[in-house]
Amino acid sequence: MSPILSLALLAILSLAAGSQNVSQISITSTNRAGEVYAPGDLIFEDNFDFLNFEKWEHERTLSGGGNWEFQIYDNSRQNSYCRGGILYIKPSLANDLYGDNFVETGNLDMHGGAPADECTNPSFYGCARSGAGGNIINPAISARLRTVNTFTFKYGRVEVRAKIPSGDWLWPAIWMMPRYNAYGGWPASGEIDIMESRGNLNYYSKGVHIGKQQVSSTLHFGPSYFYNGYERATVASNNPDGYDRDFHVYGVEWTDQHLRFTVDGIERRDITPPNGGFWELGGFPDNIPSPWGSNAENPRMAPFDQKFYIMLNLAVGGTNGFFPDDYTGTRKPWQNNGGNAFADFWAARNEWYPTWAGENAALQLEGNT
């Protein structure tokens, strides 16, 4: 039996200790630092009766997640709020908050006067941008919540009950990142993507619907940005009814031997690394040194042998290829390589913005009610 971290079984983050060989689990928390739990114990949950700032920190940045996404992440109740046991992460237009023509001519400085209002990521011009000379400020606003300073854990089961948004170029995600980059910068220290999707109503790649009818899970790992083994640890699930019509339970069981992704309790993929660990699974070149090596706590599972924290967010667009240029369906108004992606996306707002229909465009996470 595994220890549990629930963020939702009925939408709570539920963590459980991992395998038969794991007899206990330790966590890091501002309120419960160093506590030890047995397999099957519930160690974290949120019913979303209210937005709990003792559990969740909002990111405040323009950095676009390193993917040159088109949204501002901020702490605003128009973009993240709880009602009726549901957490809503809802996108909006920057001009609606900051005023007409702000995107094209405004200035935005994310530095605040108090620590809670400070910019959280300066990379990629993440703390200040201006609209001038053909460049524009991020045209959308959304939210990304994380437990980086309040809750981390190693090994467990996480389940989140969520409804994905419906709307073109929306990118919801439920995922986990390492608390400390013990093995170096991304992706050497790993990334666990429990669920990510696209809100598009009409978007196909090689004949497969990759919009709201598809959710995927993956692991990112490798020695550098140029060597990422995620393609060997990815699974996509399709539902012709769409994952936006109802709540579904997205989960990962993470033990000292494997990671197993589930949707509605059904296994979608079990990733059990071979004897050579994730280095062997990734098939990386022999002439590149492994960032994990024999000094890892669990060489077979490294980099997934360290404490991770939870993240919930709704992104908009981006140029990293998550929205491929090779597609059929609704016209994609920007190119991942070439042109001015931000300006091209904004210029086409009369095409995509009408598809963001109120709270249907929100990532919704339902509490255990």
Report the pLDDT value the prediction gives residue 11, as an integer from 0 to 100: 33
- Which two three-digit tokens encode residue 233? 């640890």
Separation CA 146–CA 85 (nearest Å):
19
Instruction: Give dist(CA 254, CA 356) in Å, integer.
Output: 35
User: SS3 letters for 247-264?
Assistant: CEEEEEEECCCCEEEEEC
Residue 47, number of CB atoms within 10 A of its CB = 20
Structural domain span for residue 59: 4-366
CATH number at residue 160: 2.60.120.200
- Model confidence pLDDT, tens digit, residues 60-91: 999 998 899 999 999 999 999 999 999 999 99
φ, ψ (nearest 5 deg) of residue 301: -100, -15
pTM summary value: 0.93
* The pair of three-digit structure tokens given for residue 4, joined into one six-digit string: 């549990």
- Can you tell me the distance from the alpha carbon of 326 to that of 57, in angstroms, rounded to the nearest whole number? 36
145 close to 75: Cβ distance less than 8 angstroms: no
- The neighbouring-strand residues paired with 201 are none
Number of domains in the chain: 1
Q: What is the DSSP letter of 332?
A: P
- The 10s digit of each residue's pLDDT in 311-329 is 999 999 999 999 999 999 9
List the chain pLDDT tens, one digit each, 369 residues.
444 444 432 233 455 544 444 445 555 655 566 677 777 788 999 999 999 999 999 999 999 988 999 999 999 999 999 999 999 999 999 999 898 999 999 999 998 877 778 999 999 999 999 998 889 999 999 999 999 999 999 999 999 999 999 999 999 999 999 999 999 999 999 999 999 999 999 999 999 999 999 999 999 999 999 999 999 999 999 999 999 999 999 999 999 999 999 999 999 999 999 999 999 999 999 999 999 987 899 999 999 999 999 999 999 999 999 999 999 999 999 999 888 999 999 999 999 999 999 999 999 999 974
pLDDT reported for residue 117: 84
Alpha carbon separation from 324 to 2, 104, 125, 360 (Å, rounded)? 38, 26, 24, 24
Distance separating alpha carbons of residues 88 and 281, to the nearest angstrom = 37
